[in-house]
A and B are shown apart, each in its own frame.
Chain A
Amino acid sequence: MFNTRLTCAIASAVALCLASAATAQVDVAIHYLKQVVDAPPTLSNLDPIPEDLGIRGAELGAQENNTTGKFLGQTYSLIVTEVFEGEDFAEAARAALAETDLLVLDAPTAQLLAAADLPEAKAALLFNAGAADVALRDETCRARVLHALPSYAMKADALMQFFVTRRWDEIALIAGERPEDQAWAETLERSARKFGLKFGARKTWAFDADMRRNAAQEVPLFTQDLGDYDVLLVADAADDFARYISYNTWRPRPVAGSEGLRAVTWHRVVEQWGAAQLQSRFTKLADRPMLDRDYAAWAAVRAIGEAVTRTGAADAETLRSFMLSDAFELAGFKGSPLTFRTWNGQLRQPIPLVHERALVAQAPLEGFLHQRNELDTLGLDQPESGCTAFEN
């Protein structure tokens, strides 16, 4: 029923030589489960979403784990299952959990929670590599779910830090009608308040015209009554209309959010901190640039590899405790070690702010200080998070 395949064979059996460290043979099986979501129709078809999004990132992570593993007697196998619309994601997760207790999930919030709430998942370790929902890091968090993908709150905070730095103090916003657009808009507004920025006019984009022909006529009028502002945010999760806003606004102002300056998990323009090497390994494997969800899946699989390497163990309990301890850190090619927040399982990480052709800045920006870790200026900090599942 599900499209399952074994993509990463066991590493070469030709043992080179084993390290003086942990030499016991360890075999680790990771199951990557993807809910295939039919994207809503968009005005432009210029940028199709790759069908292997996420999957390729997990594959690269498994390859890298195996390269390290061959010096330590550790092997990693990756099983990929795609669940199509109409199929039962929780059922697929149950089947996967019968084989391994290490799952990477690329699915919307509802499916993710359905999998996490299975009795079979009680002692498993699940990684969220597909849902940016803030609630999953807040009161609807689950103790067995760690989040490799940054939340919308982390991305919103990254943008606001940039606006504060540039003194773009007044913000206007256009959001789409879809629930995800509205949620992204709420998060942006909350973040703006947190950073003391002034949130002005907010409009909902409800056009159904084909903007490829008439954006130049519609957008100036639509943005005329936004009043004055320093930057225009656009919340368009499906990448439907945002691309038609830039340069067509009534006032000449920069656009950010879903278009223009964007806060991302990863992007081809990220080159510093050894990122160029990760980019070239990925491009060699997938024949396309690495995207947000590829990076999240890669980070999840690499986090498992790093924890196995350091502990010599492969059981979910040991790996989870190690990942949530001070001893864990993952080199994520973003300039700071990546670690997990102990209060909600979110992977701390810098957020690149990019436009299509260059990195503009990387959050946290200089001057945004935190008593524990500057990365905690992005997203839900301990006092802000309503997550209690991690207290024990």
Chain B
Amino acid sequence: MKLPILTTLTAALLSTTALADEIWVTNEKDDTISVIDIETMEVVRTIETGERPRGITFSKDFSVVYICASDSDAVQVMDPETGEILYDLPSGEDPEQFVLHPDNRHLYIANEDDAITTVVDTETRTVVAQIDVGIEPEGMAVSPDGKIAITTSETTNMAHWIDTETQTLFANTLVDSRPRHAEFVKDGTELWVSAEIGGTISIFDVATQTEKAKIDFEIDNIHPDRVQPVGFEFTNGDTHAFVALGPSNHVAVVNAETYEVEEYILVGRRVWHMDFNRDRSLIFTTNGVSGDVTVVDVASRKALKSIKVGRFPWGAAFRPTE
């Protein structure tokens, strides 16, 4: 779907954007990454990856980018300047999503086909631990203090709580059907977990691992079955969450204090994941079925533009170019 460009707004925003920062998007069915120049809002580079790239994250200093090449059974480490694959990390089978520990050294990887979370030391390039979790692990998160890692398992319908010191589970909490994504927020006091088929986000109190709230989504004229929360990200200060709602083709804006949905924004088809630009004034959503990225203005909550990328875009990651 083509969205109209709101020229005046775009121009205003562009003037405040420093240099040409980038959004990197993995294209699941093209085995490529599309690099979007945030200033021109165009794809400026297309980089080849291993098979079925999904999860993508930069090291804390942005010197390398990690890519889950699911069907190559590898986490690839790429030089973002040259686009060259430097080496593969041992990752276990079918890595789908991962999260980089705040120590900038340990990657926690969900091995979707194996019901395992693999912990890899990116310096020694060795597997430090493998932890049995539920079927189809996917969502990954680490608390800001680095003490807790989370894996959500899509078919077991749980959030598994991992003590990163001992690399063992210390709690398993049920959530609704097909949990997809997890994030620690508010200085690590809350854990949010989206459930794609359940159509909800569960919010846990981290200290007690108990559910304290649940968010439902409802869009006029769209059947609830199609409203499927997957990826989500938080605005500055964790005041609001932007939640991708899959085949409903909308992103919800949730007030993170009241847990109320304030707005639904129409984006491309089957929206998956997203990331912000530098000052979090813009958010870029990957739309799997329409093969594009929608740029949404955070303040006005309006879609500004859609940018054609590769086939089945999945993950998104911000890269500053200073």
| Interface residues in chain A, defined as those with a beta carbon under 8 Å from any beta carbon in chain B | 16-21, 64, 67-68, 71-72, 274, 277, 280-281, 309-310, 329-331, 335-337, 373-375
CA–CA, A335 to B168, complex, Å?
A: 33
Q: Which residues of B contact A280 (CB under 8 A)?
A: 113
Interface set, chain B 181-218, CB cutoff 8 A to A: 196-199, 209-210
CA–CA, A71 to B198, complex, Å?
A: 20
Q: Which residues of B contact A310 (CB under 8 A)?
A: 174
Measured CB to CB, the closest approach of chain B to A81, in angstroms, equals: 27
CA–CA, A331 to B136, complex, Å?
A: 12
Verify B132–A277 contact, CB threshold 8 A: no
Please encode chain B, from 22 to 57, with 1 for each CB lying within 8 Å of some chain A CB and 0 for all others: 000000000000000000000000000000000000
Verify A336–B112 contact, CB threshold 8 A: no
Verify B154–A274 contact, CB threshold 8 A: yes
CA–CA, A274 to B113, complex, Å?
A: 11
Q: Which residues of B contact A331 (CB under 8 A)?
A: 154-155, 157, 177-178, 196-197
CA–CA, A309 to B169, complex, Å?
A: 19
For the complex, is B219 an interface residue (Cβ under 8 Å from A)? no
Known: A21-B174, A277-B113, A337-B225. A16 touches B136 (CB 8 A): no
CA–CA, A258 to B135, complex, Å?
A: 35
CA–CA, A281 to B199, complex, Å?
A: 25
Verify B209–A329 contact, CB threshold 8 A: no
Q: Which residues of A contact B174 (CB under 8 A)?
A: 19, 21, 72, 309-310
CA–CA, A18 to B197, complex, Å?
A: 25
A277, A281, A375 — which one has the most chain B CB atoms within 10 A of its CB? Answer: A277
Q: Which residues of A contact B135 (CB under 8 A)?
A: 64, 67-68, 281
Verify B157–A309 contact, CB threshold 8 A: yes
Measured CB to CB, the closest approach of chain B to A72, in angstroms, equals: 8
Please encode chain B, from 253 to 289, with 1 for each CB lying within 8 Å of some chain A CB and 0 for all others: 0000000000000000000000000000000000000
For the complex, is B68 an interface residue (Cβ under 8 Å from A)? no
- Beta-carbon nearest neighbor of A370 in chain B: B223
For the complex, is B134 an interface residue (Cβ under 8 Å from A)? yes
Q: Which residues of B contact A335 (CB under 8 A)?
A: 247
Known: A71-B156, A331-B155. A274 touches B136 (CB 8 A): yes
Measured CB to CB, the closest approach of chain A to B150, in angstroms, equals: 14
Verify B156–A17 contact, CB threshold 8 A: no
Q: Which residues of B contact A274 (CB under 8 A)?
A: 136, 154, 178
Measured CB to CB, the closest approach of chain B to A21, in angstroms, equals: 5
For the complex, is B296 an interface residue (Cβ under 8 Å from A)? no
Q: Which residues of B contact A329 (CB under 8 A)?
A: 177, 197-198
Verify A20–B209 contact, CB threshold 8 A: yes
Q: A17-B170, A336-B226 are in contact. List 7 more A-B contacts (CB 8 A).
A: A16-B132, A16-B169, A67-B135, A68-B135, A68-B156, A281-B135, A331-B178
Verify A374–B154 contact, CB threshold 8 A: no
For the complex, is B99 an interface residue (Cβ under 8 Å from A)? no
CA–CA, A68 to B172, complex, Å?
A: 10
- Beta-carbon nearest neighbor of A68 in chain B: B156
For the complex, is B148 an interface residue (Cβ under 8 Å from A)? no
Q: Which residues of B contact A330 (CB under 8 A)?
A: 177
- Beta-carbon nearest neighbor of A16 in chain B: B169
CA–CA, A72 to B153, complex, Å?
A: 14
Measured CB to CB, the closest approach of chain A to B308, in angstroms, equals: 21
Known: A19-B171, A274-B136. A64 touches B225 (CB 8 A): no
Q: Which residues of B contact A309 (CB under 8 A)?
A: 157, 174
Measured CB to CB, the closest approach of chain A to B179, in angstroms, equals: 10
Q: Which residues of B contact A336 (CB under 8 A)?
A: 197, 225-226
- Beta-carbon nearest neighbor of A284 in chain B: B113
Verify B172–A17 contact, CB threshold 8 A: yes
Measured CB to CB, the closest approach of chain B to A327, in angstroms, equals: 10
Q: Which residues of A contact B112 (CB under 8 A)?
A: 277
Q: Which residues of B contact A21 (CB under 8 A)?
A: 172-174
Q: Which residues of B contact A64 (CB under 8 A)?
A: 135, 155-156
- Beta-carbon nearest neighbor of A280 in chain B: B113
Q: Can you list 11 A-B pairs with a CB-CB distance of less than 8 A? A: A17-B170, A19-B158, A19-B173, A19-B174, A64-B155, A67-B134, A71-B169, A72-B172, A277-B113, A280-B113, A331-B178
Verify A281–B223 contact, CB threshold 8 A: no
CA–CA, A18 to B158, complex, Å?
A: 12
Measured CB to CB, the closest approach of chain A to B237, in angstroms, equals: 30
For the complex, is B293 an interface residue (Cβ under 8 Å from A)? no
Known: A17-B171, A21-B173, A68-B157. A337 touches B197 (CB 8 A): yes
Q: Which residues of B contact A20 (CB under 8 A)?
A: 171-173, 209-210
For the complex, is B243 an interface residue (Cβ under 8 Å from A)? no
For the complex, is B295 an interface residue (Cβ under 8 Å from A)? no
Q: Which residues of B contact A281 (CB under 8 A)?
A: 113, 135
For the complex, is B115 an interface residue (Cβ under 8 Å from A)? yes
Instruction: Point out the residue from A337, A373, A374 that lies within 8 Å of B177, measured CB to CB.
Output: A337
CA–CA, A16 to B156, complex, Å?
A: 15
CA–CA, A337 to B197, complex, Å?
A: 6
Measured CB to CB, the closest approach of chain B to A361, in angstroms, equals: 14
Measured CB to CB, the closest approach of chain A to B56, in angstroms, equals: 19
CA–CA, A117 to B226, complex, Å?
A: 39
CA–CA, A20 to B155, complex, Å?
A: 19
- Beta-carbon nearest neighbor of A310 in chain B: B174
CA–CA, A256 to B74, complex, Å?
A: 42
CA–CA, A310 to B156, complex, Å?
A: 11
Verify B171–A67 contact, CB threshold 8 A: no
Instruction: Point out the residue from A18, A72, A373 that lies within 8 Å of B223, measured CB to CB.
Output: A373
CA–CA, A29 to B306, complex, Å?
A: 52
Measured CB to CB, the closest approach of chain B to A69, in angstroms, equals: 9
Measured CB to CB, the closest approach of chain B to A265, in angstroms, equals: 18
Known: A64-B135, A68-B134, A274-B136. A17 touches B177 (CB 8 A): no
